[in-house]
Amino acid sequence: MMKQRGPEHRSIMVIDTAGSAKWHNQAQLQAREVLSAAVRAAFRHAGIEWANLAAEDRGDGMILLVPASVSKLDLLDPVVPRLAQAIGEHNAAVDPAFRIRLRIAVHAGELHHDQTGWVGSDLNTACRLVNGEAAYEQLNRRPEADLVLVVSELIYHGVVRHRYRDIDPSSYRPVVVRYKEVDTRAWIRSVHMGSPIRQWILKGLAVVLRRWGHAKAGSAVAGGGRKRL
């Protein structure tokens, strides 16, 4: 009897463009090209070889299966911020009616592969996260956002809450995703990078505030150590 092939662990990123179905064909083609180039560039920036991914084109989005050798952290930082930056720069230069606004889900789990593709409950869950009502509601609540990111409990507790790199857990909020067979808790946040100049200003402001905070703390310590005459 032939030994059954077991599942393989993969990180799962599902990307979908919101509202593109109402655009004319030329706009959809342009958005598709922009998204494909931006996603590839974001992974390249993170040092992740595109050839190592299993990528499935979904017309107005894609499913990316990432090997276990790639840290899940790399998907959240730098891939997502880099993608948001590219999409933000594109949106700043186009008619607002044709802004690309993305819903992205990140999950991980055990998947099976055969001649026709990949299958597994964890892949289904990732697709439900991106298509759940919570992601649509978040986009509606934050019209300035270029991207909404939904992560599963697994990703939140394994990566997000540990504050690696520039990840801020307080920027996420818990939501319940009920879609088809899935009824689960997830964590969601909006991402709006804005123009490169705006990013440079905000980054500089953050540095100034951080230094001011350190200086104030040092001054307080010094003052507390003085003896009164």
Over residues 180-208, the pLDDT tens digits come to: 888 899 999 999 875 444 444 444 555 56
Shared-domain flag, residues 176 and 200: no
Cα–Cα distance for residue pair 107/152, rounded to 1 Å: 5
Q: Check whether 229 has a pLDDT greater than 50.
A: no
Shared-domain flag, residues 174 and 206: no
61-67/54-57 β-pairing: antiparallel
Q: Collapsing DSSP states into helix, strand and coil, what is residue 180?
A: coil
Cα–Cα distance for residue pair 203/48, rounded to 1 Å: 26
Has residue 38 been placed in a domain? Answer: yes
pLDDT at 213: 66
Has residue 228 been placed in a domain? Answer: no
Predicted confidence band of residue 167 (pLDDT cuts 50, 70, 90): very high
The residue written with tokens 């609540």 in the block is 141
Cα 172 to Cα 25, 30, 155, 160, 177: the distances in Å are 35, 31, 12, 9, 15
pLDDT at 132: 94
Shared-domain flag, residues 16 and 105: yes
Shared-domain flag, residues 185 and 206: no
Range of the domain at 76: 8-192
Stronger pLDDT, 149 or 210, i.e. the higher one: 149
Q: How many domains does the chain have?
A: 2
Burial of 160-187, coded b for 16+ CB within 10 Å and e otherwise, reads beeeeeebeeeebeebebebeebebebb
